[in-house]
Structures are given as C-alpha cells and as structure tokens.
C-alpha cells in the first residue's frame, strides 16, 4: 500500500487469533484517542508558539524526528503499537502545532477541510462510489511513491541551495501539484479503510487496533499538512 506505515505486508506478518481479535469498534476507539491527543498537544504547541514561547518550535522539530523514529520502529514491530502509538500522537501533535503556527491564519480552515475530506472519503468508501480494486491500489501506490521521491529530491537539493522550480510556487503549476497531492492523500484514506476492514475480517490480533489507528493518523496528518500548504499557496497569488 502507499502508506509506508500501514500496508498489507504488515498484516501478513502477524498471526491471526481466535480469542480477542481486532474489531472495528476497537479500532475506532483507538483512532479517536490518538486524534484527541494529537489535537490537544498541537493546540498547546500552536498557542505557545504564537505567544512567543521559545521552546515551541524546537519541540516541534523534536516531534518530527521522534515521530519518524517511532514510525520506523512500528514498521518492524507492530506489536509495540499499544505503547508507541500514543507517544507518536504526542510527538506528531507537537510537530503539527509548530508547523501550524508558521501558517497560523490557515490552521483552522485546514483542520476543518481535513476532517471534511476524512468524512467525505469515509462516505465514498462505505457507499462504494470508489472501489478499492487492485488497479486502484496500484495507481495510488505508484503516484504516491512518485510524490515521495520528488519530495526527497527536493529535500536533498535544498542542502545545495537548489530549489525545485514550480511545484512549491504559488503559480498554476504549484497549485495544481498541491491539488493532486491532496487528492492522493485522500485516496490513501480509502486504502487505509480497506486495510482496517481486512484486518478485522481476518481476525488480526487486538494490538493491531492501535497499529491501524496509528497508520490512519499518519495519513490524516499528511492530508492536513498538504491542505495547509495549498491554502498558503492560494493566499500568495
């Protein structure tokens, strides 16, 4: 799947159980907890940064690095998710809050749009308007991988003071690029929903509820950041 933290390979590594398996309600409870933790920590960091607290931005940087480390650890040890997923939510909340403070005027609209897209894609998935077929999965994976490689290239070139033209600008190409990436993040939500359903149907162990919630949180945060970036670009036009 496109989300590197949440893929079919992860479920293929676990042993399925008869007693206390993963449930849909349990997964919903876990994602609710992780979202609330992320939002609360993000709000505290956001307000602290706006009030001039010097520790807020460095804490956000620490959150980004720490969150990446936890994501890598969980990719290899999903059974650690009950302990590490809440820690990830705290770290990611700090990161999101710090980034949001830089684009403070767009933070609330971006959050509203993010949850709007989340709700819309859930309706789309449940009603079958878009079916998660192998062809759909393949297309989303390839497109998301291409975007990830482009972001890595941009990051690498930045060390040599070389800027990738157009895609980060507020011109038509930059706007279209951001719209495409927002769309890809939304489509990744469909893949996440599909994987959660598969895990429940195949009776994955209970700790996978936390892992599935963690994987969905990764996509939601990515979607929020891309919408935030899009709104900032539109404002510069």
Neighbours of 93 (CB within 10 A): 27
Q: What is the pTM of this model?
A: 0.92
Q: Say if CB 148 and CB 185 are below 8 A apart.
A: no
Report the candidate in 122, 140, 144, 145 with the shortest Cα–Cα distance to residue 193: 122
Q: How far apart are CA 17 and CA 204, in angstroms?
A: 6
The whole-angstrom separation of Cα 61 and Cα 167 is: 24
Give the Cα separation of 207 and 85 in Å (integer). 11
d(CA 21, CA 37): 25
Q: What is the 3-state secondary structure of the chain? A: CCCCCCCHHHHHCCCCCCCCECCHHHHHHHHHHHHHHHHHHHHHHHHHHHCCCCCHHHHHHHHHHHHHHHHHHHHHCHHHHHHHHHHHHHHHHHHHHHHHHHCHHHHHHHHHHHHHHHHHHHHHHHHCCCCCCHHHHHHHHHHHHHHHHHHHHHHHHHCCCCCCCCCCCCCHHHHHHHHHHHHHHHHHHHHHHHHHHHHHHCCCECCHHHHHHHHHHHHHHHHHHHHHHHHHHHHHC
pLDDT, residue 104, reads 95
Q: For residues 44 and 161, give the distance between their C-alpha atoms in angstroms, rounded to a whole number.
A: 33
Q: What is the pLDDT of residue 1?
A: 43
Handedness of CA 85, 86, 91, 95 (dihedral sign): positive
pLDDT at 16: 64
Average pLDDT, consecutive stretches of 10 residues, N- to C-terminus, the chain (237 residues) = 60 66 95 98 97 95 96 94 98 98 96 97 95 93 92 84 79 92 96 94 93 96 97 88
Spatial separation of the C-alpha atoms in residues 221 and 186, rounded to whole Å: 11
Q: Can you read off the two tokens belonging to residue 102?
A: 């830089």
pLDDT digits over 66-85, tens only?
A: 999 999 999 999 999 999 99
């Amino acid at each position: 799947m496109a989300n590197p933290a949440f893929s079919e390979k992860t479920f293929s590594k676990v042993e399925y159980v008869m007693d206390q398996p993963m449930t849909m309600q349990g997964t919903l409870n876990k994602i609710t907890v992780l979202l609330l933790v992320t939002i609360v920590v993000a709000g505290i960091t956001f307000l602290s940064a706006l009030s001039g607290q010097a520790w807020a931005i460095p804490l956000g940087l620490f959150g980004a690095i720490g969150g990446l480390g936890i994501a890598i650890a969980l990719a290899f040890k999903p059974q650690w998710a009950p302990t590490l997923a809440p820690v990830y939510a705290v770290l990611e909340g700090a990161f999101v809050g710090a980034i949001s403070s830089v684009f403070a005027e767009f933070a609330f609209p971006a959050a509203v749009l993010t949850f709007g897209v989340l709700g819309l894609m859930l309706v789309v998935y449940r009603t079958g308007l878009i079916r998660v077929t192998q062809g759909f999965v393949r297309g989303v994976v390839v497109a998301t991988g291409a975007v990830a490689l482009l972001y890595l290239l941009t990051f690498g070139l930045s060390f040599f003071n070389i800027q990738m033209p157009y895609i980060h600008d507020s011109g038509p190409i930059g706007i279209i690029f951001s719209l495409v990436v927002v769309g890809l993040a939304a489509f990744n939500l469909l893949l996440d929903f599909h994987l959660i359903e598969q895990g429940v149907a195949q009776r994955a162990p209970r700790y996978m509820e936390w892992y599935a919630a963690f994987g969905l949180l990764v996509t939601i945060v990515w979607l929020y950041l891309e919408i935030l970036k899009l709104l900032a670009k539109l404002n510069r036009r």
